[in-house]
Amino acid sequence: MLATFYAKALDADLPKPILGDRWAKEIVDRIDYDWSKTSITKTNSPSVTTRSAHFDTWARQFLAVNPEATVVHLGCGLDARAFRLDPGPGVEWYDVDYPDVADLRRKLFPARGNYHVISASVTDPAWLTEVRSDRPTLMIAEGLTMYLTESDGVALLRRIVERFGSGELQFDAFNRLGIKSQWMNAVVRRSGSTLYWAINRPDDIVGAVPGVRLLAWESPFDSASFRGLAWFYRAMAGVMSVAPPLRYMAQYHRYAF
């Protein structure tokens, strides 16, 4: 959580920021922590900020079509998406994370209309009863699925589709190679975390979650947020894209239900 948040704060100070999240910058300056422990630098911060910018774009697209909607941001951490997007008064926004994270959010972020913080594990079915379910619903899960087991992840997506009448699921995932090579991921390694759930193709989701329809499946290298990076990032992407397992080691998924 702290690593991804710090990446957004560093980005905010770049001459040409990708995300431009001043909320992250201001809050990082208020937290007494040795941020070098996160292993995040200005050089590797785009691995986080390009992803966040991508899901900001998809969320804006959904809300442009559905100005009266519910947004459920799962495993939100300290992300300021609700404040970056600043949705209109017709949107009910719910940020969901563990109780200690939720408590920290309440201390660091101001209150705003139609904004709610839910203290719960995303795999606990009970939190869904706290969310308004009578309007199109967007579920965003950025940097979450790979930390779940497959059984917990599939059950979570099924519950959301069953609970809410219509909407979208937007999330990122790692394929089998991404899960197997987690020991190379400095952020995961330093945090002591373990990655579990490999999603190789959209068929893995369509076949496991009744009622969903694929809208988009992309490699991060194909995202507009990535195409604006410096040449050496794009050169690396060109080399990796030759092999599909490397091209789709990380993936962006978007489904309607």
Q: 124-142, pLDDT tens digit by residue?
A: 999 999 999 999 999 999 9
What integer pLDDT is reported at residue 169 of this predicted model?
99
Per-residue pLDDT at 230 exceeds 90: no
Alpha helical stretches, state H, 207-247: 224-227, 231-240, 244-247
Strand order in the sheet with 250-256: 115-119, 91-97, 69-74, 137-141, 167-174, 250-256, 213-218
What integer pLDDT is reported at residue 184 of this predicted model?
78
Q: 143-196, pLDDT tens digit by residue?
A: 999 999 999 999 999 999 999 999 999 999 999 999 999 987 777 887 788 999
Q: 45-96, pLDDT tens digit by residue?
A: 999 999 999 999 999 999 999 999 999 999 999 999 999 999 999 999 999 9
Question: Poorest-confidence range of 21-30, 39-48, 178-187, 220-229?
Answer: 178-187
pTM of the model: 0.95
What integer pLDDT is reported at residue 185 of this predicted model?
78
Q: What is the mean pLDDT of the chain?
A: 95
Contact 7, 48 (CB under 8 A): yes
| One-letter amino acid for residue 68 of the chain | E
Section 210-237 average pLDDT: 93
Tokens (6 digits) for 33 = 């922590």
Torsion sign, CA atoms 223, 25, 100, 118: negative
Per-residue pLDDT at 255 exceeds 90: yes
Q: What separation in angstroms does the CA of 2 have from each of 39, 123, 142, 151, 248?
A: 10, 21, 14, 27, 25
What are the structural domains of the chain? 2-256 (3.40.50.150)
Q: How many CB atoms lie within 10 A of CB 125?
A: 13
Of 240 and 70, the structure prediction assigns the larger pLDDT to 70
Per-residue pLDDT at 221 exceeds 90: yes
Q: Which residues pair with 97 in a beta bridge?
A: 119
What integer pLDDT is reported at residue 191 of this predicted model?
78
